[in-house]
A and B are shown apart, each in its own frame.
Chain A
Amino acid sequence: MNSGLLYALTGVGLFTLGLNALIMHAHLLRKILAINVMGSGVFLVLVALGGRVPGASPDPVPHAMVITGIVVAVSATALALALMLRVRAATGKPRLPEERQE
């Protein structure tokens, strides 16, 4: 197993860990961070698998895709954070309604 595959498996691990955190945690900031971790996992898979063939130069197309993906993730995170602040201002708690009852 070369380093490309190892990083790709790490990406899969990040994706799953992020998904777990997204489901299990109630605080909105943690959910947003979980989404970011999942995103990093997906980007890692994209890039790492591009370099899994030993000795060949890395594939530039996944790199460009990941740059696009990072910009999209940053934009979405910014919107999510601003929304979270407004939710807290409107409801008093940075949580979604059903999570507050438990």
Chain B
Amino acid sequence: MSVADRSRLPLVSRGVRLLLLALAGGLSYAVLSLPDQRVELSDQVSANMAASGVHNPVTAVLLNFRGYDTLLEMGVLLVALLGVWSLGTAVAHRRGGPGPVLSFLVEGLVPMMILMAGYLLWVGAAAPGGAFQAGSVLAAAGILLLLSSKRLPVRLVGRPLRLVLVLGLLAFVVVGVTLLSVNGIFLQYPPGLAGGLILFIEAAATLSIGVTLAALFLGGRPDSDT
């Protein structure tokens, strides 16, 4: 990749830059001219926090008020993985095992990261944290393991792996449909059970997100998959 990577003629380049400058100017003006008022939606969020089952307003919005967005977003993660898997099998990992530094780090760090993920999941109800944050740390642990050439045993690739991947979505759908059949509204948590249901969904989602992100890192279908 050289500096002379640009594939456009200088005149086109100048025109594009002028247009984009105008765009930036217009957008900046639009941003600066926004009315300076407080958004009352955050007041509504605060007012309904007691009924939401958690103390962290972001978790409440993410898993309760706008939980449907989160459901679809888990779908996006899974579709990306399906897409990557459909392109081919995983890129072959390099020959030779991990060096001594990597082995040492993996042995020390991975258990701590798993603990950290569990903590983030738990504390998400009251402080910054939650399913996505915990899932990311779990995925990082998984990537470390993948980098040190560890792979899943063959019998776990296939239906068990696929089950873990869809666990988050399944939890959402099962909880939502159960609540739908009980009181007629999709994903409406009864106030007493809200906290527990959110934790249940988040736990399943953490597992799914962690495994999905680690599998995405692999860049293709696991070799021993059908």
Contact = CB atoms under 8 A, between A and B. Distances in A.
Interface residues of B, number: 50
A53 B76 CA distance: 33
Contacts of B219: 81-82, 85
A24 B15 CA distance: 11
B132 A23 contact: no
Interface in B174-220: 209, 213, 216-217, 219-220
Interface of A: 1, 5, 8-9, 12-13, 15-16, 19-20, 23-27, 29-30, 45, 49-50, 52-53, 56-61, 63-65, 67-68, 70-72, 74-76, 78-79, 81-83, 85-86, 99, 102
Interface of B: 1, 5-8, 13, 16-17, 20-21, 23-24, 27-28, 31-32, 34, 36-39, 41-42, 45, 57-58, 60-62, 66, 69-70, 73, 76-77, 79-81, 83-84, 87-88, 91, 132, 209, 213, 216-217, 219-220
21 contacts: A9-B28, A9-B31, A13-B24, A15-B24, A16-B20, A16-B27, A19-B20, A20-B20, A23-B8, A24-B8, A27-B1, A53-B36, A56-B38, A58-B42, A59-B42, A60-B42, A60-B58, A60-B60, A61-B66, A67-B62, A78-B216
